[in-house]
Amino acid sequence: MADFSADVFQNEYLPAGGDTLDAVITVTSGANVSAAGSKQLVEVIIIDVSGSMNEDRGAKIQAAKVATMAAVDTLDDGVEFAIIAGTDRAHQLYPRNGLAVADAGTRREAKDTIQRVRADGGTAIGTWLQLAAQLHRTRPDAISHSILLTDGKNQHEPHHVLQASIDACIGLFQCDCRGLGTDWNVDEMRLVADALLGTVDIIPRPEDMEAEFRALISSAMKREVANVALRLWSPKGAQMEFLKQVSPTIEDMTGKGLPVNPLTNDYPLGAWSPGESRDYHLRVKIPAGGVGDERLGARVMLAINDEAEPIALVRAIWTDDENLSTRINREVAHYTGQAELAEAIHDGLAARAGGDEESATMKLGRAVQIAHETGNVASARLLEKVVDVDDPEAGTVRLKRNVAAEDEMALDVRSTRTVRVGKQGS
């Protein structure tokens, strides 16, 4: 079994009749995570080559080519890879079919092919994903990763086709989505990334693309164990109120459980690198016990290829000592705040887009206040591009009249990035 450990942060004391347990679980991978299986990486790069990529006198398509060639150069020998060019349908650019094994020859061939690409046509992201799924499906045990780059909205297929295509990809590969410029749709890309355990970000300028692609490939190549799942057992009568990843970003996992048995569910975590650490916030409702009773609210296990190992216990002890039961755990409080921050940014931007300035001012003000309190400097800086801050402690802000579209989108896509406890003021 692979090398994982966990810490649980919770107040296990509940008052008489109390039935709701909150816990933050930090899962950390050790140096030997790969012990469990294959380290083979399969990388499928999906590039938007629709007609809009010709904008800026060809700067976008040129930058996309440079970035993709850089990504190919970054691949270690032995990585299996393919490149898909996407328009209103999907074209496999390299190799002609199947996957290529990276070496000096295939890298050169791939780059030659990329050089010759011309941008033309529409955008149907669902078809791109379907082709990527076909390729990834041939390597079920590999660490399967894709990069999806688009500069526009999914205009040339109905939404339900995109949704169905995403659903068909779940569990086959992980996908990091990048939007170039400001004409793409954050919610669309988030839909893909959430389902496929990836990230979303904006690449405002074409010239930033190369560095971003190199970074994405490097981090994919660090992954050493695929198909990791958080396996949660809860007692009879328990109800999972929510399960969220809360660090490094907030991702709701509540609906992603796959039943193992009536009391146990697997929540897919994707692939892990050695020495990684992620935090999860769990809230579970369990049947209340009597004062003095001690029960397990959840047993946290780590499952890889159906081998599971217990890593943490979430406990409940009922007490009539209010000094114990009213304490709020520091980590739980912190991440509750980070989740509220992300929600306030999201709601504030939505209100602003809908013309409800009063509500937008209030929500974004609250966001500024939490970012300030919890030392989330990155979010605070992004907020300052959208609002003028009069008093960060009180959360008093004014909406800026002129906001760059890229600043608003950056705030939106990065609103789910959290900071950890103890990083305040850094």
Partner 1 sequence: MTDVSAEPRVCGVCGEVARPDDNWCEACGADLAPAALEIPGDADATPAFVATGPCVSCGAPVEDITDDGWCQQCGTKQPEPGDHVVDDLGALAVVCDRGRKHGANEDAGAIGRDRDTVVLVVCDGVSSTDQSHHASQAAASVAAEVLLDGEDAIGARMVRAAAQAQNAVVEATPAASDQPPSCTFVAALAAPELDSGVGATAITVAWLGDSRAYWIDDEGARQLTRDHTWAIEQRTIGDLTEDEIASDPRAHSITRWLGADAIDVVPEIVTTTVDASGLLLVCSDGLWNYASEPNAMATLVAEHDADGPTPLELSQRLVAAANELGGHDNVTAAIARFPLVEETVTVTGSDPAALDVDSHPTTSEPTKSNGS
| Interaction site with partner 1 (CB under 8 A) | 233-238, 263, 286-287, 289-297, 299, 310, 313, 315-316
Q: Directed axis angle between helix 330-353 and helix 357-374, to 10°?
A: 150
Is the four-CA dihedral 343, 348, 350, 356 of positive or negative sign?
positive
- Quick one: CA torsion of 203, 205, 206, 210, rounded to 10 degrees? -60
Using CA atoms, how far apart are residues 33 and 42, in angstroms rounded to an integer? 18
CA distances from 13 to 20, 27, 330, 400 (A): 10, 23, 14, 46
Q: Minimum CB separation from partner 1 for residue 24, in Å?
A: 20
Residue 321 C-beta: closest distance to partner 1, Å: 9
* Encoded tokens for 374: 């919890």
- The Cα–Cα gap between 397 and 403 comes to 15
State in angstroms the smallest separation of the CB of 320 from partner 1: 8
Per-residue CA distances from 426 to 182, 373, 381 (Å): 31, 12, 13
Name the residue nearer to partner 1 (CB basis): 83 or 298.
Answer: 298
Nearest distance from C-beta of residue 298 to partner 1, angstroms: 8
Beta bridge partners of 417: 249
Q: How far is the CB of 292 from partner 1 (least distance, A)?
A: 3
Alpha-carbon distance of 216 to 219, in angstroms, equals: 5
- Residue nearer to partner 1 on the CB measure, 79 or 286: 286
**Cα–Cα distance between 233 and 228 in angstroms, integer?**
16
For partner 1, the closer of residues 315 and 334 by Cβ is 315
In the complex, the smallest distance separating the C-beta of residue 395 from partner 1, rounded to whole angstroms, is: 41
Q: Which is nearer to partner 1, 100 or 238 (CB)?
A: 238
Nearer to partner 1, 234 or 369 (CB): 234
Q: Is the dihedral of CA 411, 414, 415, 418 positive or negative?
A: negative
- Shorter beta-carbon distance to partner 1: residue 37 or 297: 297
d(CA 13, CA 324): 6
- Two tokens at 255? 């609906």
DSSP characters over 103-163? SHHHHHHHHHHHHT----S---HHHHHHHHHHHHHT-TTSEEEEEEEESS---SS-HHHHH
| Cβ-based nearer residue to partner 1, 74 or 234 | 234
Identity of the amino acid at 219: S
Angle between helices 159-169 and 186-195 in degrees, nearest 10: 20
What are the distances in angstroms from CA 36 to CA 98, 226, 289? 26, 9, 39
| CA separation for the pair 150, 193 (Å, rounded) | 13
CB of 4 to partner 1, least distance (A): 18
**Integer Cα distance of 422 and 426 in angstroms:** 9
Q: How far is the CB of 15 from partner 1 (least distance, A)?
A: 14
| Minimum gap (Å) between residue 333 Cβ and partner 1 | 25
Q: How far is the CB of 233 from partner 1 (least distance, A)?
A: 7
Length of the chain counted residue by residue = 426
Nearest to 410 by CA among 344, 349, 365, 355: 349
Instruction: Provide, rounded to whole angstroms, the least separation between the CB of residue 265 and partner 1.
Output: 15
